Structure 1
Amino acid sequence: MSGDIAAQTVTTADSATRNSGATVSIGFVTGMLSGMRSRGENVDDLLRGAGIPPAAIDNPGARVALRSYATLYKSVTEHLGDEAFGLLNTSLRPGTFEFLCRGMIGSPSLGIALERCARYLAVVLPDLRLEVERTHSWALLRIVEQSRVGHSRDDARRVFAFEWLLRLVHGLACWLVARSLSLSSVAFPFPRPTHADDYALIYTANSSFDASALEASFHANLLDLPIRRDDAALESFLQNGPETLTMLYRRDRETVRQVRDALAAALPASPGIDDIAADMHLSPRTLHRRLVQEGSSFRAIKDALRRDIALARLERENVPVSQLAHDLGFTDTSAFFRAFRKWTGQAPSRYRSR
């Protein structure tokens, strides 16, 4: 870990909230860089430019700020001139994402937009094929490997290629219809990666692995939603490019965001779902249902918030572990130790030293 150690321990709820910025597992960073690293290219300057210590990629328990991840996304694609990060046998030249968006935005419905997306990708992306299937009640996004990506099923290039393309298509679909589109389940065609706990926030908590192809299911009636973005909105969206989509998985879950903010503001208290529901003028059952619809749960949100604050403060401050446990609302230090080992696979002191 790098960064100056703060001279003063911060314990207020406001400070905890400031340190609660969303993070992603280092596994997504190593996946993004796997194409470059497989060719022996040095990635240290790109990491530093995004505010990520190069040593972090050797620490499987590390996490990085979501904004740093988005910055790295843009830097890698610009450096390579490839919007697919050098992962695939055929590169995606700059402008591919823009013309994908322009081809989808004039569609009358999401279903038509996704069909256009599949046809476009078939032309520019021969390694992976996107299919859209509809039954009476369910719709299915399927991503099929056309030619081998990486050397094995769990090759970091192959894993990230599927992660990236599903997030790209799903995030773009959410943006086009201006609302969250909850995935009911996703089956991934590789063994469970070490960073799979993040899938509950990015895709769905109902994820499975070792499938023959990637299959993401959702309610079929979502395909009938109208496209709500116009050309003016697209121009603004394209100012940031596809890295914008890396930011959407927090923003397209409004209830998740509200619960996370409420829990952060309450620290070091640890309110339950009944308390948060009352503050939001909802019944606990309604709050639970909305969180399920957004692919999350009260427990998952609380765990993620505590984890993100703990990692940020261990990196930046010389705060005693006992004080940090108290500030995060743990009943005792040993409970915090158990939770931290579950999050990172190591003790807080070990994480800080690395």
Structure 2
Amino acid sequence: MSSFGLVPALAESQAGDVLEATDNVLLPQSVLRHAVGAGLKPRQLAAATGLPSWSLSGAEEYRVPSTGYLRTWEVVEHGLGDPNAAIEIAKRYVLGQVGLYDYLFSTAPTLGAGLEACGTYLGAITTNFRMAPGLETEQEVTFEISMINGEGRGRELAAQWGLAAIFTRSRLIMDGPVNPVRIAFEQQAPRNHDQLVELFGTTEIDFGAPSDSITVSVADLARPLRTADARLAEILHQHAARTQPVAPPHASTWLDHLAGIISTALDENSAGIDAVAARMYLSRRSLQRRLSEHGTTWRTELERVRRARYETADASLGRSGQAVLLGYKDHRSARRAVKRWDR
């Protein structure tokens, strides 16, 4: 079993420079489509996640920053009001929803070979994770799954879905049930994890572990997959080897995303903190906490956006026009702000 491969933690340029971790757009699509099906609005979701507008329909060749994918989990959980969102989405797994990565797995001869392909070509779906074999005995093998960049609730939900998808995918193309021997999560135990027990098919679920991991019996790893196709697998492996990893797009920060939301809100005369928090699928308190984590405040960021709009505005814009552009109720407030910036 020692042949299971480690994939690079991050995409690298030819010069060796470490680039931003990225995910195949099919990952956030899996989450967003569930949310839309549950009644959330696509345009609002795209704005709240900070992902490009084409994220719901982009082809497999497109990549998005991993921060955007993790943010998608936070937005969807908040929008649905469901702490088990990752579990519910994993239950509805459809073979092929993550494209090439699914077919690298499904064309393998056995479960073990499928997991090996997933470890070797993990870059086809994400450069933000590693999957590698850990402790190995005659009866079982543990696979450790680590995330390179990520924190908070988005990380927790992505980990739940990622580990669950290994088994929901496997059950679609194997005869008879397949369940892990054990599951371990870095995250702390939720108040109730009955749904995780039901999904994984085991009560052996540990929380607060050193790393996320799955343990599978050697007997299960040797079980065949109904969809095995040696010739197609060879073609897919060659394609995956040529196309991964993909160079990531230009990086943007969470504060840049917030600035875009504030600017849109100013255009619509709704730039209060509560309204902006709602656009980001956050509570007022959560937005303030995120601002504090970035060493800033709501007032500071609102001022920053207003000043940027003023500095790029038409010089012939009058006081009343400036007040509208900057989201002030009267031109006197706008005049005071302009004087402050022009000092």
Question: What range is the shorter-chain TM-score in?
Answer: 0.3 to 0.5
Report which structure shows greater RCO (CA 8 Å, sep ≥6): 1
Higher helix share: 1
Compute the TM-score of the two structures, normalised by the length of structure 1.
0.39
Larger Rg: 2
